[in-house]
Amino acid sequence: MSHNFATLIEEVKRLSGEEKEELKCILEQHIIEERHKQIHKNYRESLKELRTGALEFSGDAKGLRRMMENDRGCIQYTVPKGIQEEDKRTQGIGDLFWERVEAFMSDPHEERLRTHKLSEKLKDLCSFSITYDIRVIFHFADEQKAVFVDIGRHDEVY
């Protein structure tokens, strides 16, 4: 830990409860804004890859899963990076993820997926639910193809 960071922590400890709450709100908002920027960057990159023909699509979840297992890099934006990385946001939801992907492939608007368009900075994107808290962020490439851009918690996306 750097000296500056340790000093900052000590300064935060000296703040009043009200000031700590305000700082917490500011930090949470900043984190959400950073996630929105990353999701939007992934979206722009997926559009570029779509235009150049670099994305590979599959009509079934098993095929998509095989593609991901064979060459994780080639479908970076067809499968959420969070699932590929098995990071803390997605641990333990792998099987449920694939169950929901199969449901999405059958009917993107199936009720349990709660598919809907996003708003504001992410207005060009949609999401569907894996769990109450975990969402897959995507856009439709055309009427038959969807590009998964990212995966995130509800509070990161909204």
Encode 120-137 in three state secondary structure.
Answer: HHHCCCEEEECCCCEEEE
8 A C-beta contact, residue 57 and residue 48: no
| pLDDT value at 80 more than 50 | no
Q: Which domain holds residue 48?
A: 3-157
Q: What average pLDDT score do residues 12-24 get?
A: 93
Residue 71 makes CB contacts below 8 A (sequence gap 6+) with none
CB atoms within 10 A of CB 158: 14
49-63, 87-101, 126-140: which is most confident: 126-140
Tell me the per-residue pLDDT of 92-130, one tens digit each, with 9 for 90 and over: 677 788 889 888 888 889 999 999 999 888 889 999 999
- Check residue 105 and give its pLDDT: 86
Q: Which pairs count as long-range contacts for 48-55, CB under 8 Å and 24+ apart, including other chains?
A: 49/77, 50/141, 50/147, 55/141, 55/147
Domain count within the chain: 1
Residue 46 is encoded by which pair of tokens? 């997926």
Q: Which residue would you say has higher pLDDT here, 127 or 86?
A: 127
- Read off the CATH number of the domain in which 101 is found: 3.30.2310.20
66 or 97, higher pLDDT: 97
